[in-house]
Amino acid sequence: MDVLLAVLSGFLLAPLAPWLDRRLGKRWGWMWALVPLGLLLFFLRFVPALARGEAFTRRLPWIPRLDVHLSFHLDGLSVLFALLISGIGVFIFLYAACYLEGHPHRGRFFLSLLGFMASMLGLVLADNAIALFVFWELTSLSSYLLIGFEHERERARSAALQALLVTGAGGLALLAGWLLLGQIGGGIELSQWRHQREQLIVHPHAEWALALILLGAFTKSAQFPFHFWLPNAMEAPTPVSAYLHSATMVKAGVYLLARLQPIFGGTELWNATIVPVGAVTLSLGALLAVRQREAKRLLAYSTVSALGVLTLLLGVGTPTAVMAAMVFLLAHALYKAALFLIAGIWDHEMGAREPERLAGLRRTMPITTAAAVLAAASLAGLPPSLGFLSKELFYEALRTAPRWPLLLLANAVLAGMALVAVAGLMGVRPFFGRGPIELQPRHEAPWPLWLGPSLLSLGGTISGLWPASLERMLLNPAITAVLGESVHTHLALWPGLNPVLLLSVLTIVGGIGMYAGRGIVRAPALPSVLARFAPSAAYASLLNGIYVLARLQTRVLQSGHLRYYLLTIIAWTVSIVGYPLVTRADGVALRRPAPEHVLDIGLALIIPLAALAAVRFTSRLAAIATLGVVGYAIALLYMIFGAPDLALTQFMVESLTVILFVLIFYHLPRFTTLSGRWARARDVVVSLLAGGMVSGLVLSILGMSPPDAISEYFVHKSVPEAHGRNVVNVILVDFRALDTLGEITVLALAGLGVYALMRLRVEE
C-alpha cells in the first residue's frame, strides 16, 4: 500500500460512512475499528527502517505551476504522530461504535471522524507547506462538525463555532506565515527549508513569518491566551474529546513547533515567545483544572496544561528538553485518552460526569477501576508509569534550561501538584471514595468501552517499566528528526537519587495536600474580578461586535423592497461602467452594424415595441407575455448571428420564466399602481441611462480591434485536444470546466436557498 492511499483512504471511505454504518447495523459497529487498525499496521512497517535512520518521501504533483504538491515525508517525528493517530484511533472507533449505538446519526458521526483521521494523518505527514495548511484547516472543519454533532443544542453549536473561529483564524495566520517563508526561501517544502536555516533566519521578514506561524500553532494547541476554546469543545461526544481534543488534533500546534525546531530553534524570538507562553499555559491550565467539578472540563484544562508542557519544552529546545517532549507526548496521549474514555463510561453507564457525585465504583467495575488507577498514576507521575519517566525528564530539562531555570522549575512543580490533585479526582475519588451511592452501576461497562482505556493505560505502565525498545524504535528517531542530528538517549526507571527525584517527591506530597484542600483552590472569589479581562470575554465581545455591525449594515442597506435593490444595482452598474466609457473611450465608433435582411429590421422594431408595451400594460399576464416577446426576439437575433447555443438557452430560459411566473401569480396581491409620478420619472431616467450605457458599451466594443489570442486558441485546440467541434460546449466542459464546476455548485446552493426561503415562509 502506498502512503498516498493510506492518507486518502479516510477521505474515500467517509462519504460512504452513513450508508456503510446502516449496513453494519448494531452488532457489527466494531468493524469501524478495522480502518485505523489497518493504518496502524501500515505505519508500523516503517518503524524498523526509521530506527536505522532512513526516511521516506512520496510526491504527487497537485498544482505544479504553484509548487503545490501532495508530498509526504515520513521520518521519526511524523511516523510517531501517525502511529498515535491510528493507534488511538483504533480504540476510539471501537468505543464510539458502542457509545453511540442506536444513535440515528452514527453514520454521519463516522463520516466526520474518518474525515478527521485522514486530515490529521495528512497534516503530520505532509511535506509541502500548502498541503499541510489544507489538512490543517480540514482538521478544524471536522472538529467543528464533531463538536457540533448534537447540533440541536445551542451550547454545542456555539462551542463548535468558537473552536472553528479561533483555530481557523490561526490557520489563516499560518498560511500567511508559510507564504512569507516561501517568498524568503524560494520554495514551499518543509524539508527544503530545513536545509536553508542560515538563509532563512537572517532575513528581515523571518520574524514576521515566525510570529504568524506561531499564532497558528498557539491557537490550534490551545495556548494562553487562546486556550478558552478547548474546555468549551467538551460539548462534543466523549470519544471526540478523547481523540481530537486531547490525543491528536490539539497536538498539531506542538507538531508544528517540533517540525520547525531545526529551522527556527534557538533564535531569539523562538525562545522569548514560546517559553513564557508554554509556562503560563502549563500552570494556568493545571490550576483551572482543579477548580472544575465536571470530569470532561477537568480533563480539558489538564490537557491545556499538558499542551503547555510540550510547548515549553520545545521552546527550551535542548536535547534533553526535546527528549522530554517526545516521551511526554506519548505518555500524555496514552493516559489522557484513557481518562477521557473512562469519563465517557461514567456518562454512558450512570449519566453523571462529576467525580464527586460518584462513589465506590470499584465494586461493580473492576476493569474500569484498574484502568483508571493506572492512567491516573501516569498523570500524577507515579512510578513505574511512563508519566513518571516523562516528569523526571521534564524537571531535568528545566533544571538545565539555558534561561530562567529556577522560575520555570517552581512554576512546573506548582502545576505538577495541581495535576496530582486532578489524578486523585479522576482515579481515586469515584472508585474508592465513600459517599451517597445513588449512582451505583449494576455491572461493568460493555467490552468495547473498557477495552480502549485498559489497553491504553496498561501501555503507559508497561512502557514505563521497559522503556528500552520503545526508546530505540520510536523515540530516538523522533528526537533525531526534531533536532536534525542523531542523539543517543538513555531512559531508565530508576535514575538514582538526584535533585529531580526530590522535586518529584515534593510534587506528589504537595499534590496530595492540594487534593485534600481543593475547596480552597475552588474559592470563587478570584475569577469574578478576572472574568472581565479573560480572553474568552474578549472573544465574546469581538463576536458580538461583528453581529452589531452586521445588523447595522443590514438596517442601512436592506430595505426589503425588490424595486430598490434593482434600482441600486442598475444605477451603480451604470455609474461605474458609464463613467470610464464617457471619459476614456476613444469615441464610439459607429461602424454600421449589419442589419440588411428584412428579418433583422423586423426584430429590431419588435423588441422596443414589446418593451414599451410591457411597461404600459396593467395586467401582469400581458406584461409577462410581452417581456417573453422581447426575450424570444433576442434569441432569434442570436440565431441569425450564429450563436445557436446561446439562442437555445435563451429560448429555454424564457419559457421557464413564464412557467415560474404563472406559479407565482397565485401568491401575488392584486395589481395596483404603487409608485407616484416622481418615482416613475426617476425610473424612466435610470432605465434610459442603463439602456444607453449598454448600447454605448456594445458600440465601443465593436469599434475596438478584439484581442484574438484566447478565442483563436480555443478554436484551434478544440478538436485536437478536446475532441469536440462545438467550441462553446468544449469551453464549458473541458477548457474552463473548473468554472462550470463552480457555477453548478452555486446553482445548487441557489436552489437550496430558494427552497429554504419558501419553506421558512410556509412554516411561519
Partner 1 sequence: MKRRRLEHSSEVHLRNAPLPALEWERASVILGVAVRALLPLLLLFSIFLLLRGHHAPGGGFIGGLVAAAAVALYALAYGATAAQQLLRLSPRGLVAAGLATALASALVGPLTGAPFLTGRWMKVGRLELGTPLLFDVGVFLVVIGVTLWIVLTLAEE
* Interface with partner 1 (CB under 8 A): 60-64, 644-645, 648-649, 652-653, 655-656, 659-660, 662-664, 666-667, 721-726, 728-730, 732-734, 737-738, 740-741, 744-745, 747-748, 750-751, 754-755, 758-759, 762
Least distance (Å) from partner 1 to the CB of residue 728?
8
Q: Which CB atom, from 63 or from 679, has the smaller least distance to partner 1?
A: 63
Least distance (Å) from partner 1 to the CB of residue 665?
10
Angle at 500 between CA 494 and CA 506, to 5 degrees: 105
Residue whose C-alpha cell reads 519517566 in the numeric block: 389
Give the Cα separation of 613 and 607 in Å (integer): 10
Least distance (Å) from partner 1 to the CB of residue 83?
27
Please, which residues have CB within 8 angstroms of residue 369's CB and are 6 or more apart in sequence?
A: 361, 362, 431
Give the Cα separation of 343 and 296 in Å (integer): 7
N-term to C-term CA, the chain: 55
Q: Which CB atom, from 16 or from 410, has the smaller least distance to partner 1?
A: 16
Least distance (Å) from partner 1 to the CB of residue 599?
19
Sign of CA dihedral 409, 414, 417, 418: negative
Least distance (Å) from partner 1 to the CB of residue 714?
14
Least distance (Å) from partner 1 to the CB of residue 725?
4
DSSP class of residue 705 equals P
Least distance (Å) from partner 1 to the CB of residue 672?
22
Q: Which CB atom, from 36 or from 631, has the smaller least distance to partner 1?
A: 631
Q: Which CB atom, from 115 or from 168, has the smaller least distance to partner 1?
A: 115
**Residue type at 372?**
A
Element (H, E) at 123: helix 106-125
User: Among the residues of 100-196, which ranges form H helices?
Assistant: 106-125, 129-147, 154-185, 190-194
Q: Which CB atom, from 48 or from 644, has the smaller least distance to partner 1?
A: 644
Among candidates 166, 124, 117, 168, which has minimal Cα distance to 146?
117
Q: Which CB atom, from 27 or from 723, has the smaller least distance to partner 1?
A: 723
Cβ atoms of 330 and 410 closer than 8 Å? no
Residue 52 neighbours by CB distance under 10 Å:
8
Q: How many residues does the chain have?
A: 764
Q: Which CB atom, from 577 or from 728, has the smaller least distance to partner 1?
A: 728
Sign of CA dihedral 366, 371, 376, 382: positive
Cβ atoms of 70 and 117 closer than 8 Å? no
Least distance (Å) from partner 1 to the CB of residue 62?
8
Least distance (Å) from partner 1 to the CB of residue 660?
7
Residues paired with residue 127 on neighbouring β-strands, in sequence order: none
Residue whose C-alpha cell reads 411561519 in the numeric block: 764
Give the Cα separation of 314 and 258 in Å (integer): 7
Least distance (Å) from partner 1 to the CB of residue 666?
8
Least distance (Å) from partner 1 to the CB of residue 664?
6
Residue whose C-alpha cell reads 491545556 in the numeric block: 304
Angle at 10 between CA 6 and CA 12, to 5 degrees: 100
Least distance (Å) from partner 1 to the CB of residue 134?
13
Least distance (Å) from partner 1 to the CB of residue 721?
8
Least distance (Å) from partner 1 to the CB of residue 657?
10
Q: Which CB atom, from 202 or from 754, has the smaller least distance to partner 1?
A: 754
In whole angstroms, how large is the CA radius of gyration of the chain?
A: 33
Q: Which CB atom, from 128 or from 318, has the smaller least distance to partner 1?
A: 128
Least distance (Å) from partner 1 to the CB of residue 9?
14
Long-range CB contact pairs, 559-562, < 8 A, 24+: none
DSSP 191-228: HHHHTTHHHHHTSTTHHHHHHHHHHHHHHHTT-TTSTT
Among candidates 433, 297, 413, which has minimal Cα distance to 362?
433
Q: Which CB atom, from 68 or from 501, has the smaller least distance to partner 1?
A: 68
Sign of CA dihedral 333, 334, 335, 338: positive
User: Among the residues of 617-736, which ranges form H helices?
Assistant: 620-640, 644-665, 677-703, 709-722, 727-730
Q: Which CB atom, from 712 or from 721, has the smaller least distance to partner 1?
A: 721
Q: In the numeric block, which cell numbers belong to residue 734? A: 473541458
Angle at 36 between CA 34 and CA 42, to 5 degrees: 100
Q: Which CB atom, from 333 or from 727, has the smaller least distance to partner 1?
A: 727
Sign of CA dihedral 536, 539, 541, 543: negative
Q: Which CB atom, from 108 or from 291, has the smaller least distance to partner 1?
A: 108
Among candidates 256, 228, 231, 259, which has minimal Cα distance to 245?
231
Q: Which CB atom, from 64 or from 104, has the smaller least distance to partner 1?
A: 64
User: Among the residues of 562-643, which ranges form H helices?
Assistant: 562-584, 598-616, 620-640
Residues paired with residue 74 on neighbouring β-strands, in sequence order: 56
Cβ atoms of 324 and 438 closer than 8 Å? no
Q: Which CB atom, from 569 or from 744, has the smaller least distance to partner 1?
A: 744
Q: What are phi and psi of 706, to 5 degrees?
A: -70, 140
Least distance (Å) from partner 1 to the CB of residue 734?
5
Q: Which CB atom, from 525 or from 738, has the smaller least distance to partner 1?
A: 738
Q: Which CB atom, from 537 or from 744, has the smaller least distance to partner 1?
A: 744
Least distance (Å) from partner 1 to the CB of residue 264?
34
152 CB-contact burial (10 Å; exposed 0-12 / middle 13-18 / buried 19+) = exposed
Q: What are phi and psi of 74, to 5 degrees?
A: -105, 110
